[in-house]
Amino acid sequence: MSEQDLRKAYLKSWEPYPVVSDKANAPAGEKVFRGRILQLIEGQLLLQVGQKKQSFSRGLTSCNVLKTESESWQDSGHNGAKLQVFREGDWVQVTVAVEDLELKSIWLLAPNLRADFPIAKTSGLATSFTAFTDQVRQHFLSLDFDEASTPTLVNCPGLEPHLKPFSTRWSMATEQPEFYLPTSPELHLKKLLCRGYDRIFEVKKVFRDDFKSPNHRPEFHMLEWYMAFASLSDLEAILEKLVRSLSDDQLSWQRTSVRELFQELYGFELSACYSREQLIPLCERHGLDILVDDSFDDLFQKAWVQKIEPALETMGGAVIVYDFPPSQAALSRLTEAGWADRFELYLHGKEVANAYQELNDSLEQRTRFEEFVTQRQDQVPIDESFMDHLSSGMPPSAGIAVGLERLYMALFKVETIDQIFEFDI
């Protein structure tokens, strides 16, 4: 009888395991394992048991193949001891001797009927990342931060022109059926600052309609925290403490400004008041493509990618970069020298965090929002509820956003973001 016919005969006589308990009653001196067959070759049976792997090699040729809880399987010309009836992907229950793990019996729990279906072999990174995010949460709770839970259906996902949101509709709504998935919880967390919360954080799934790459997915986890009456230095101190608590590595921690990076790598003295026209000679000297509709920020980004990002990777460790051009202030204040009062954290060359000395001038914020709206390709509205809160007064505050997948990848040398997730997009 061929192996295929043997399997068909076994499945025909096999009875599914009765679901009465998650614990099997093993005979004295024996132990039960339940899992999925990852590999079945001569001399070895490899099971996936939860997130672990368990190998069995003793007793493979003499174990009892069961068809019911109490009956062995017999077929014409078959002695019940062969394992050819099983294939990779089958869910099985095995009974082994406690002393030496010698296989005593094996019983099919659920057959794999799709030989062409790839069997997932988890790396364990997904559960490790879940534990990582929980460790982050516990860190902030230990610092007496309040944990927030902001909406996932919002009327304004954020207005920065480079962020593209996902939109959806509420079919039963009598008013305002258009909603978005948040690109950040920032606006709602700042509403809480206006309501009197002074130390708040949230770990939230956020969504951005952007390309997929080794470092990017349209759905990811964002950690944000905000502190009233705090400075960027206060944020940086907590950020450094957080990063060091998550890894055993002895990270170097450096600080530099955007102006210093341009001076060192391009020999170019960048000023906070420079315009697009003043960047063009720099781009031309270094062979960067200049398009007619390129803005100052477009040219800045091209120069940044050409030399500065590689240099930050070479520097290694943690690098805080501060004093960005005012056109990149977004929701931050400006310094007395005219720079955007914000910093970014690069960890082993990956940008993982973005911090602001928050703008709390409602008139200036509305001006910036209205400018953002004119630059966008969609019809995302200004969050008037946020403007009402801001107009009522928000205390001087500092806030930061950290991409948790990127932080995890940088700390633990994970090559692609997809390795962290069980499911592909």
- When pLDDT is averaged across residues 402-418 and rounded to a whole number, the result is 94
- When pLDDT is averaged across residues 25-45 and rounded to a whole number, the result is 85
Q: CA quadruple 318, 320, 321, 326: dihedral positive or negative?
A: positive
Which is higher by pLDDT, 227 or 128?
227
Which pLDDT band, with edges at 50, 70 and 90, does 75 fall under?
low
Q: Residue 37 and residue 26: Cα distance in Å, rounded?
A: 20
Residue bearing tokens 């170019």: 268
Tens digit of each residue's pLDDT (9 = 90 or more) over 175-192: 778 899 999 999 999 999
Answer whether residue 78 shows pLDDT above 70: no
Answer whether residue 84 shows pLDDT above 90: no
Cβ proximity of 97 and 30 under 8 Å: yes
H-assigned helices in 156-201:
186-194
Mean pLDDT in the chain? 90
* Number of neighbours of residue 293 by Cβ within 10 angstroms: 5
Tens digit of each residue's pLDDT (9 = 90 or more) over 257-290: 999 999 999 999 999 988 899 999 999 999 999 9
Residue bearing tokens 């977004």: 330
Cβ proximity of 215 and 201 under 8 Å: no
- When pLDDT is averaged across residues 325-352 and rounded to a whole number, the result is 94
Maximum Cα interatomic distance, the chain, rounded to a whole number of Å: 91
Q: Residue 169 and residue 335: Cα distance in Å, rounded?
A: 41
- Domains, the chain, ranges and CATH? 3-110 (2.40.50.140), 125-252+316-420 (3.30.930.10)
User: What percentage of the chain has pLDDT greater than the value 90?
Assistant: 65
| Whole-structure pTM value | 0.85
CA nearest 261: which of 299, 310, 318?
310
H-helix or E-strand spanning residue 144: none
Predicted local distance difference test score (pLDDT) of residue 1: 66
Predicted local distance difference test score (pLDDT) of residue 22: 54
Tens digit of each residue's pLDDT (9 = 90 or more) over 229-252: 999 999 999 999 999 999 888 899
Pairing state between β 103-110 and 397-403:
unpaired
CA nearest 356: which of 186, 143, 162?
186
Which pLDDT band, with edges at 50, 70 and 90, does 122 fall under?
low
Answer whether residue 203 shows pLDDT above 90: yes
Q: Residue 338 and residue 270: Cα distance in Å, rounded?
A: 12
Which pLDDT band, with edges at 50, 70 and 90, does 400 fall under?
very high
Task: Extract long-range pairs of 126-135: CB within 8 Å, 24+ residues apart.
Answer: 126/420, 126/421, 126/422, 127/51, 129/404, 129/405, 129/408, 129/420, 132/246, 132/404, 132/408, 133/203, 133/221, 133/404, 135/245, 135/246
Predicted local distance difference test score (pLDDT) of residue 161: 87
Cβ proximity of 207 and 182 under 8 Å: yes
Predicted local distance difference test score (pLDDT) of residue 80: 45
Predicted local distance difference test score (pLDDT) of residue 347: 96
Residue 113's Cβ-count burial label (10 Å; 0-12, 13-18, 19+) is exposed
284: which residues sit within 8 A by CB, 6+ positions away? 290
Pairing state between β 178-180 and 199-207:
unpaired
Predicted local distance difference test score (pLDDT) of residue 81: 44
